[in-house]
Chain A
Amino acid sequence: MKNDIVLEITIPNQTCYLSLVGKIGESMAKELDRYDGDREELASRINTVLTEALVNAIKHANVTDPTKEILVRINISGKELAIRVFDNGQGFDLNRVPDPCFDSDILNENGRGLFIIRSLMDSVVYKKANGGNVLEMKKSLR
């Protein structure tokens, strides 16, 4: 469709690329003139979501195997932003990830990534795709 934006980035399964991908997402959001809201806030949100999703894929799905790759696809269609992070690891059960923000768990050192993603996006789904898995995160741009 006219005016759709599709951005695909493939990176090695290494955390040194977090900053690069986060900044690409941030820059894209800042240029998004179809969004009437606070673009700085959107840029920050996309940076955070991309970073958390990549870390999740690198450490948990691809189990820190540096020979694997991660594909990130950012799609802006009309008034919807979709970010998909594909891994080719064994995956995990999204519904079994605990909420670390309850008082009893607040001093856990791990486990906040998916909570943060869920808090910042409208919908989050993790499913099988392309012989691996995809974490699909959507947000309305209205």
Chain B
Amino acid sequence: MNLKTETSGGSVIVFVKEERLDAHNSGDLKTEMNRLFEGGSINLIIDLKEVRFIDSSGLGVLVSGFKNASTRHGTIKLSAMQTQVKSMFELTRLHRVFDIYATVDDALES
């Protein structure tokens, strides 16, 4: 999976540079988030700008990240969701769980 990570202020931004976040590749995102958590980063922003498609496995990995961040008294924010991805969050009601922002900058400024 193509992921790009940047640090800004007290947050680490993980850019998911894939068209799909699904059962085939979402395990890589989970591994990267766990690596960041174990390295002491507790405030993550997951940028989904390039993700056009997400399935239940992708959603599950983000839920895993949410729980991991919460356990460590950190945060996980999501940015730049495309319409189809947002509709999956709404269908599963996960939009009520996550802090969702239009852009990475909005997430950083919040």
Assess A109 versus B92: contact at CB under 8 Å? Given A18-B22, A48-B55.
Answer: no
The answer to whether A55 touches B57 (Cβ under 8 A) is yes
Main secondary structure of the interface of B (DSSP, over half): helix
Residue in contact with A55 in the complex, picked from B56, B67, B84, B88, CB distance below 8 Å:
B56
A139 to B85, CA, bound (A): 21
For A117, the closest partner residue in chain B by CB is B56
Residue among A48, A101, A120 with most chain B CB within 10 A = A48
Q: Between A and B, how many residue pairs show CB distances below 8 Å?
A: 70
Residue in contact with B91 in the complex, picked from A47, A51, A55, A116, CB distance below 8 Å:
A116
Kindly list chain A residues whose C-beta atoms are within 8 Å of the C-beta of B63.
Answer: 107-109
Assess A19 versus B24: contact at CB under 8 Å? Given A107-B66, A110-B60.
Answer: yes
* Number of chain A interface residues as a range: 20 to 34
| CB-contacts of B1-35 with A (<8 A) | 20, 22-24
Q: Mark A3-30, 1 if CB is under 8 A from B, else 0.
A: 0000000000001101100100000000
* Number of chain B interface residues as a range: 20 to 34
Kindly list chain A residues whose C-beta atoms are within 8 Å of the C-beta of B60.
Answer: 108-110, 112
Report B7 CB to chain A, min CB distance, Å: 27
The answer to whether A51 touches B88 (Cβ under 8 A) is no
A115 to B93, CA, bound (A): 12
Query: Cβ of A140 < 8 Å from any Cβ of B?
Result: no
Query: Cβ of B101 < 8 Å from any Cβ of A?
Result: no
27 contacts between A and B (CB under 8 A): A15-B23, A18-B20, A18-B23, A19-B24, A44-B53, A44-B84, A44-B87, A48-B55, A51-B22, A51-B55, A55-B55, A55-B56, A101-B92, A106-B93, A106-B96, A107-B63, A108-B60, A109-B61, A109-B64, A109-B67, A110-B56, A110-B60, A112-B92, A113-B57, A116-B55, A116-B92, A119-B91
